Amino acid sequence: MTLFQSQLGQLERAIEHAGSYQQYKEACEAHDDLSGANDWKAKDPCRLYDYRLIRKRVQRIKFAQSQNNISGLMSILHEGLHGNLGNIANPELLGHCKIGTKHLIEEFITQVVSALEQIYHADEAHIDFYDKLSFFEETAHAFGRSCLMLSGGAGLGFFHCGVVKSLNEQNLLPTVISGASAGSIIAGMLGTRTHGELLEALSAEFIFEHFQNWRLWGGLGRKSLLDSRALENTLITLFDLTTFEEAYKKTGRHITVTVSPADLHQYSRLLNAKTSPNALIMQAIRASCAVPLLFTSVQLKAKTASGDIVPYIPNRRFADGSIMADLPFERLARLYGVNHSIVSQTNPLAVPFLSGSRTQAKTLSSMTFRHIRQLAKANSIYAFDIMEHLMPNRSSKLAIHKVRSVIDQQYVGNINILPQKQLRNLMQVAANPTLESIQELISSGERATWPQLDVIERNTKISETLRSRLRALKAREARLFDHVPEGIME
């Protein structure tokens, strides 16, 4: 083995066994330097993206900035700013280095952010305040935003803690977050706790203290196999009687909890500060965690203006959110304008069939396999539609409808963070956790997130700058008129 190969091997082992993100990042940077990936980053030309378009856009922005031409900057950004301009978000670019991307792409993002700051701070003697506000409103809406979606996964859902812990430490948590089943617990914690409070709440010791006995045998002959009292007591301790609106006012995070109906002719619901502001987070999460057979379905509850607790959607009961809406991307897009998703996926029905690869396969065999998989999914849905139509029994129809919903869902996003495919992970799905198993799952979630952090930062930097400056402008407008307009924290 040559010295070069030996050094690369040492760095790859350092990446694999890094004890922190800083160690991981330093090892990746050293690997890119030694392997020649940094030379690839420094060269603009590449068939994987339109480098001529990006280079020209950078030059135009720089020239407008040098002239302090604010109207020109607005025009340049208005005419073509979006998250994948010139294919700069092409996942195939990630396969050429351990961390980072083309310097030209990074310069473009930096230049756009700099231009947005220059527009925000521009002298209002030359550009009207409301022209600024209008620009940021329109551009933020057109550009879109990212969301974080936390899937179901029962005991494996503690993996999400490591994912959000890494994002929180790097200040990369999106403000739009959804959770289903086990993921709803972590989403609830994100919605009700500040940055500092999350540092404690996401520790293995905190999680173990509250969830060590979530699985208690209820016995045969009852409505469910498991006794829900321990889980319910924990949810009361964590969330009390907080509503979605109250949580949003505290943290500014738009959290959504998905629930599935226990009725045949109902559809899954997304509970959040927009759709159900007065609904109790605790009861919504309890419903989302109600895996059929294991836990009983739940009646949702809400808080009135006087503080009374009343039924929400009376005469309806709800169950496990991951059955029908594990990753409700399309409805989040309508509600919050998201067009980019970060998925922490622990659903045991999906993970074994998903790939954590950072690039899209282009071989003939991989394309054939993808086509066969799509055909199998379509044929399965058709078969279940026929069975549901022919079944005379209502309970049988409901069961078939739920199974069809599981098959028909999309389980991946733009960025996917997956646990390792290990048999012991499956064994943790329905088991009471130990402190060691929680520590291992959190560590696994952190490590799985590290390779994605620089990608997430690039993909969210512009949208977060737009939203941050828009919030500041709306706050100024509120002070001018001595009121707080609806959606000030949007």
Longest alpha-carbon distance in the chain: 78
DSSP code of residue 144:
-
Active site residue 181: yes
Q: Measuring CA to CA, which residue among 253, 69, 171, 87 is closest to residue 465?
A: 171
Q: Measuring CA to CA, which residue among 245, 260, 249 is closest to residue 292?
A: 260
SS3 148: strand
Whether 252 and 264 have beta carbons less than 8 Å apart is answered as: no
Beta-bridged to residue 302, according to DSSP, are 279, 310
SS3 47: coil
Q: Quick one: tokens of 341?
A: 């998703």
Whether 300 and 311 have beta carbons less than 8 Å apart is answered as: yes
Please identify which of the residues 146, 151, 166, 181 carries the catalytic annotation: 181
- Cα angle 189, 294, 235 (rounded to 5 degrees) comes to 25
Distance CA 219, CA 201 (A): 32
Whether 178 and 147 have beta carbons less than 8 Å apart is answered as: yes
What sign has the CA pseudo-torsion 439, 445, 447, 450?
A: negative
What distances in angstroms separate CA 361 from CA 95, 357, 364, 367, 399, one per listed residue? Answer: 11, 9, 9, 7, 36
SS3 489: coil
Whether 336 and 330 have beta carbons less than 8 Å apart is answered as: no
Strand pairing category for 269-271 and 216-217:
unpaired
Distance CA 167, CA 481 (A): 36
- Position 217, amino acid: W
Beta-bridged to residue 319, according to DSSP, are 260
SS3 152: coil
Please identify which of the residues 32, 320, 326, 454 carries the catalytic annotation: 320
Beta-bridged to residue 146, according to DSSP, are 340
Which helix (H) or strand (E) segment is 133 a member of? Answer: helix 129-143
Q: Measuring CA to CA, which residue among 86, 33, 24 is closest to residue 447?
A: 24
DSSP code of residue 279:
B
Q: Quick one: tokens of 461?
A: 């930097």
Active site residue 320: yes
Q: Which sequence positions are flagged as catalytic? A: 181, 320
